Amino acid sequence: MAFVKDSDVQFITQKDVMFIINFKVSQLHKTTGFDPDQCLNLLLKFGFNKKVILKTCNEQFLTALQSKTEQDEPEECYVCCLDNQIIRLDCGHSACRNCWKSYLIRKIEDGNCLIECMDPKCKLLIGKSVIDEFMDDVASYESLIINSFVKANNTITKCPDSNCLLFAKTNTAEPQTVTCTCGRIFCSSCSQDPHFPATCRQQQLWSKKCELLTPKIDDDSQQWLLEHTKECPRCLMTVEKQGGCTLMTCSNKKCRLKFCWLCRSDIATHGIYYCNSSQLKAEKARLDSRADLANFITHYNRFEHYQNSYKNIPPMISDAIESSEPLLQKAAYSYFNARKMLTNSVVFGFFLCNGEYSDKFKDFLHSLEISTDQLESSLLNYLPSQGSKRVRFELFEHHQDIEKCQKELLEFCAKGQEFEDLNGQSYRDAWKKAHAARVNNDSFSQFFSNWLFASVLILALLVFLPDFHIWLPDFSVAYGKTLGIDLRDDTSQSYLRTVFLSLVSSFVVGFFDLIG
């Protein structure tokens, strides 16, 4: 994703988008000679992919697209059983105007832009001109056509603001951060808030994990979704299985991946035999789950910390965005970008393989965090004392530092696709290795602790025996005699046993505190 200039983005209206659609219809009409209604239905059916249309279409296929109307004499409608003027389609199925209108309105409200004949066994697609005849307001149906076109187009995106009706048209299909004329900033690919350096897919996966951590829907709905739906392994669109075999096709027109419902693997690599997903070992799944949870909690806590810092920016810095002084305005804007970049970088780092690249990324992130804190301090010092040259120089210097850190981080993250690990397998392996080392170390510590405890216990029992004497070297005995003390008599030995037990007890307590 890139930060683009206003000149790289063009904002267009629904009327402009409809003009582009009509232009594509006229192009297909000139190329194939098909009826405009047929061309529009073909574009809607095949995701506005002209090459696929030319490769797939034949005369037999086109018969399912013809939908002209004929008006018959008034007779009884087989739907409402009232005597009205009957309107018949090319397929021969008929109904009165009111029934056709009610049927079309219901289909449009359900979000269908490809509407079939009213008869359940008929697959005839009704053309736009026929729909326009029955509808009083065609805006709702045109909105469905526009939404279908935008979903299949990589360079046009609807502004996510519900009160804005503009579309952003970029010069490239590469995800970009754009600012709408209404003030909303969003990603041109997924229409979500800017998330660079994290990719759209990383942001989708992260959002899914956050939803599982703190579900935002009721328990019954969550349980139903877990039991009846799964996500497409490529685009993560939720898919519901209502029957049939285990071969599924993603309903996203940009994806259309064929995958196995049981193991969610690509059918191209799955083969025709039964999948062996049920043969996975329970211990491996348990360790993978624990590793994923540990990794997620670590990054989620850091993500929440950065997000709170971004949301709770001091009001003085927020007001500086509107300042008339260029340096102050630029510094405040860079500070906002840095706080947002720190938050998104956690998501990017979560999906990196463990290794040298991940370690370097953490160094870049640490440098950006330090520079951001320094710039925040400079901004807070500069605002009350704008006349100080020293504070002004510090603000300028820290602004240059944070711009440099952001640029270096962006350049470094641009190479991160080859080090991406969306499944978290590298972290699982590292976690399992560390877990095994901890288990081995704990086993050795436990064995040594038990051995030491047994030895001390035996020694302590021996000390309390009446005939037990603590062995002392000859020089200590001779030194004791010079002081007038016999270290080998019963009184001295009793005193020495007490001191010895006190020292052993202190050692044992300290040792268990150290290893525990």
SS3 letters across 5-53: CHHHEEEECHHHHHHHHHHHHHHHHHHHCCCHHHHHHHHHHCCCCHHHH
In angstroms, the CA 453 to CA 98 distance is 92
pLDDT digits (tens, 9 = 90+) for 444-472: 555 565 566 666 656 655 555 555 555 55
Q: What pLDDT shows up at residue 89?
A: 83
Percent with pLDDT over 90 in the chain = 10
Query: 401 falls in which pLDDT band (50, 70, 90)?
Result: very high
In angstroms, the CA 108 to CA 139 distance is 11
Non-local (6+) Cβ contacts of 405 within 8 A are 338, 364, 367, 368, 371
Query: 440 falls in which pLDDT band (50, 70, 90)?
Result: very low
pLDDT digits (tens, 9 = 90+) for 288-310: 665 676 777 778 888 888 988 88
* Averaged pLDDT, 159-171: 89
Residues 333-368 as b/e (b if ≥16 CB within 10 A, e otherwise) read ebbebbbbbbbbbbbbbbbbbbeebbeebeebbebb
When comparing pLDDT for 165 and 324, which is higher? 165
In this predicted structure, the answer to whether residue 277 has a pLDDT above a threshold of 70 is no
* Averaged pLDDT, 25-37: 87
Q: What pLDDT shows up at residue 435?
A: 46
In this predicted structure, the answer to whether residue 4 has a pLDDT above a threshold of 80 is no
In this predicted structure, the answer to whether residue 23 has a pLDDT above a threshold of 90 is yes
User: How many Cβ atoms from other residues are within 10 Å of residue 374's Cβ?
Assistant: 17
Among 111-120, 164-173, 433-442, the minimum mean pLDDT is found in 433-442
Q: Which amino acid is at 330?
A: K
Q: What pLDDT shows up at residue 370?
A: 92
* Averaged pLDDT, 15-27: 92
Sheet strand arrangement including 94-96? 69-71, 86-89, 94-96
Q: What pLDDT shows up at residue 37?
A: 87
Among 84-98, 243-257, 329-343, the minimum mean pLDDT is found in 243-257
When comparing pLDDT for 475 and 30, which is higher? 30
In this predicted structure, the answer to whether residue 62 has a pLDDT above a threshold of 50 is yes
Q: Which amino acid is at 107?
A: K
Token representation of residue 245: 């075999």
In this predicted structure, the answer to whether residue 279 has a pLDDT above a threshold of 50 is no
Domains of the chain listed by start with CATH number? 34-152 (3.30.40.10), 213-272 (no CATH), 283-423 (1.20.120.1750), 448-515 (no CATH)
Token representation of residue 230: 């799964």
In angstroms, the CA 402 to CA 396 distance is 10
Q: What pLDDT shows up at residue 313?
A: 86
CA 416 to chain centre: 16
In angstroms, the CA 303 to CA 297 distance is 10
Residue 361's SS3 state is helix
| Average pLDDT of the residues of the chain | 77
* Averaged pLDDT, 324-337: 87
Most confident of 311-315, 341-345, 476-480: 341-345
Q: What are phi and psi of 464, to 5 degrees?
A: -80, -5
User: How many Cβ atoms from other residues are within 10 Å of residue 386's Cβ?
Assistant: 12
In angstroms, the CA 309 to CA 305 distance is 6
Q: What is the pTM of this model?
A: 0.61
Q: What pLDDT shows up at residue 146?
A: 92
In this predicted structure, the answer to whether residue 348 has a pLDDT above a threshold of 80 is yes
At residue 197's C-alpha, the angle toward residues 416 and 359, to 5°, is 50
CB contact at 8 A, 69 and 87: yes
Q: Which residue has the tokens 């950006």?
A: 368
In this predicted structure, the answer to whether residue 19 has a pLDDT above a threshold of 90 is yes
In angstroms, the CA 141 to CA 131 distance is 9
Non-local (6+) Cβ contacts of 472 within 8 A are 487, 488
The counts of H helices and E strands in the chain are 18, 15
When comparing pLDDT for 230 and 279, which is higher? 230
Query: 22 falls in which pLDDT band (50, 70, 90)?
Result: very high
Query: 200 falls in which pLDDT band (50, 70, 90)?
Result: confident
Rg (CA), the chain: 37
Q: What pLDDT shows up at residue 427?
A: 62
Most confident of 203-217, 374-388, 437-451, 501-515: 374-388
Closest to 155 (Cα-Cα) out of 48, 45, 23, 50: 48
Most confident of 99-108, 264-273, 415-424: 99-108
Q: What pLDDT shows up at residue 516?
A: 47
Q: What pLDDT shows up at residue 70?
A: 62
Query: 278 falls in which pLDDT band (50, 70, 90)?
Result: very low
